[in-house]
């Protein structure tokens, strides 16, 4: 084990020349991660991305909430996009499929947890995390965050940053579950806001508990949109 760790450390500090020689081909692999998703997702119509834990069981209250939320979004003609895995992602894809709207799963292969769920009627597989993130952001009119782990928090803070820096328009960023999110928001106000973010930046997101509140916020936003939509600076 020590020998293997030493070899890994050597490779990290002195990467083989072949790694850099492969970069031109790596660029093509990155491009390939965008081609089919861009073509397919551009056709699905108005969509909402739902984030949340891959570990939530079907008996979990947030699993049931995600199913109901996706059904309500579908009732208003909104497609649902998820990370394509189990847990909350499965639940949202399930509700969307039941509601008869595009149920999209943007799946990425991971060593644990992440396997595509059977409720996604459109399933796309990604090699790179960053390409997957672009597609979440580019093709959604709103973002919903149910309780989750590092992945959910990563998406939350990245999207907050894009809106804060005006790389994306002010889209609904909706946190669901006061019990789960209140502590984080309290920390942001007490620790970040005095020195590290502008007053009011925490208000870029909205905290709710009920699916009906989520749908209302999203519909208020989408009904106020005027065509043609402004292209986000992040993707221009």
- Tell me the domains of the chain and their CATH numbers: 15-225 (3.40.50.450)
Query: What Cα–Cα distance (Å) separates residue 23 from each residue in 46, 89, 108?
Result: 36, 33, 21
> Which tokens is 97 given?
């499929």
The residue ranking higher by pLDDT, 195 or 3, is: 195
Of 177, 175, 200, 180, nearest to 189 (Cα)? 200
pLDDT at 2: 46
The answer, yes or no, to whether residue 234 has pLDDT greater than 50, is yes
Each residue's pLDDT tens digit, 32-81: 999 999 999 999 999 999 999 999 999 999 999 999 999 999 999 999 99
Rounded Cα gap, residues 135 and 157, in angstroms: 16
Query: What Cα–Cα distance (Å) separates residue 225 from each residue in 36, 151, 221, 222, 229?
Result: 27, 29, 7, 5, 7
Each residue's pLDDT tens digit, 72-107: 999 999 999 999 999 999 999 999 999 999 999 999
The answer, yes or no, to whether residue 235 has pLDDT greater than 70, is no
Categorize the per-residue pLDDT at 228 as very low, low, confident or very high, splitting at 50, 70 and 90.
very low
The residue with tokens 């396997």 is: 115
pLDDT at 9: 55
- What pTM value is reported for the model? 0.87
The answer, yes or no, to whether residue 20 has pLDDT greater than 70, is no
Which percentage of the chain shows pLDDT scores above 70?
A: 86
* Beta bridge mates, 48: 80, 142
């Amino acid at each position: 084990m020590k020998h293997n760790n030493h070899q890994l450390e050597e490779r990290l500090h002195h990467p083989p020349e072949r790694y850099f020689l492969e970069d031109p081909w790596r660029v093509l692999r990155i491009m390939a991660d965008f081609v089919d998703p861009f073509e397919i997702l551009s056709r699905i119509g108005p969509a909402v991305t739902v984030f949340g834990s891959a570990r939530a069981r079907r008996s979990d209250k947030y699993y049931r909430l995600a199913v109901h939320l996706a059904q309500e979004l579908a009732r208003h003609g909104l497609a649902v996009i998820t990370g394509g895995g189990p847990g909350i992602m499965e639940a949202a894809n399930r509700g969307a499929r039941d509601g008869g709207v595009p149920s999209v799963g943007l799946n990425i292969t991971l060593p644990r947890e992440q396997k595509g769920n059977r409720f996604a009627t459109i399933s796309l597989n990604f090699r790179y995390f960053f390409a997957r993130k672009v597609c979440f952001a580019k093709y959604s009119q709103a973002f919903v965050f149910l309780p989750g782990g590092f992945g959910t928090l990563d998406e939350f803070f990245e999207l907050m940053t894009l809106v804060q820096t005006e790389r994306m328009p002010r889209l609904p960023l909706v946190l669901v579950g006061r019990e789960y999110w209140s502590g984080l928001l309290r920390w942001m106000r007490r620790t970040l806001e005095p020195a590290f973010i502008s007053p009011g930046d925490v208000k870029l997101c909205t905290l709710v508990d009920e699916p009906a509140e989520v749908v209302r916020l999203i519909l208020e936003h989408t009904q106020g949109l005027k065509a043609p939509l402004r292209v986000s600076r992040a993707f221009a």
